Structure 1
């Protein structure tokens, strides 16, 4: 069943959280601001992607794949995740607890989509106010199945939240191409690969190339099997993934963790994560049938 996306309206009285003000004024520096300044100074901010006059200095570094699981309150599952180095993905539409674990903040768009509802702006604002400052990264609000309308919506939020100390991730999905988002990406603004399963698998390698060229974070959503984890690690060169399997079944944590480790220990030499800049095509190897 295809659900027609409804474009939510952003309230005119949107107020930044109090904790965001010092970052906006420059009296406090967060991770995103620091990494942005470092990347700009050392010419590793991704600008060479579009400007051939810039010398690209990004070194080849195979970063580990970090697994996240949807937040759960089940003690057995949480214990298994802690023991295996997993982190939580807290949804703005769910219970706003981190269970004392490192976490990232999802915007809640997927939950709204599955319930045939428009994006819940107030829920995201509450979640961002409470958890945004200390999150590993925050997924910018988007409209599932919304294509370029979703991107326009996300970019309005990117402007509002640009001073966030956490990385911000742009959600890409069916109907989007690398050229639609590349100019907005940097070490402080990364990619969240969503979309339909077929589209995600077909375009994953291209998003990996784009993330490599822009030196940005690449996350892949809804990854619940060892096979999919290895694909994200090898073909996509992803930096992180998330799924629900580890949250629901503690017995799956160990084999999924083994897949994460295998993907890192036996890295694919074709993975964008380990290629130098000159080896990554500007068109990112975008599938011809989607052009």
Structure 2
């Protein structure tokens, strides 16, 4: 029997077991309702490189919310209405559990396995570092410890950003990268390991800032990386590449600051967005004088690329 914890848990975790075909739609809705983080366990993430698992066509969505009065009633009322509108939601399993600080890493360790991003990038949790073996000398390992920060590479938007940065670096150098909402620092670390000269990560969460710096040291790029909780345009228009993988509302609110941070001729990659949000995000950033270049999709998620001319 586990000892009781008398302290109020800082978070509540909602677990949904859903048909994989509705997973992306529900992810966007959970984030819109205020989920602080979202962990997806599906057929893709259950498989690790060189070790496929039989398909289940089921996905587990683990959404972390701040523990506040009326949370479950508010979330379930919204989800109840959504379940009636989306085909395939008739038999969804729903459960809640508390999450304390000391449980956070244990929660990650129980599910998070090494995974591949881009062509040859392998994100390896720190607890697999000693045992995991890369398949080729050209494979690029990124060792991460999530700590209390978000950003593990499991989400489709992280994959979109990693692929965009890798493709960019194959064509052009990156001198000054800005990583808005850096989380664990995963995108900055990937870019630096691929040849970027310098990266600045920003995040409103001081825990994430500390964790990103630790992960930069773990991956031997600390001397080329800085992180803080200041606004994106803190250094003016100096960044030739900016990546922001956060959420729609913060991206709208930060549009003037993000646009101001980009050097003339620079590139902006925005993600954390659903396909249905593309028109509004394009309007917001084109109003800042940026030009739309392309939109990439993965499942129902998108990455929108702009250029500052």
Fold-level similarity (TM above 0.5) = no
Q: Find the structure with the greater CA-based Rg.
A: 2
- Structure in which a larger fraction of residues adopt strand: 2
The two structures have a TM-score, normalised by structure 1, of 0.32
Q: Which structure carries more relative contact order (alpha carbon 8 Å, separation 6+)? A: 1
The two structures have a TM-score, normalised by structure 2, of 0.30
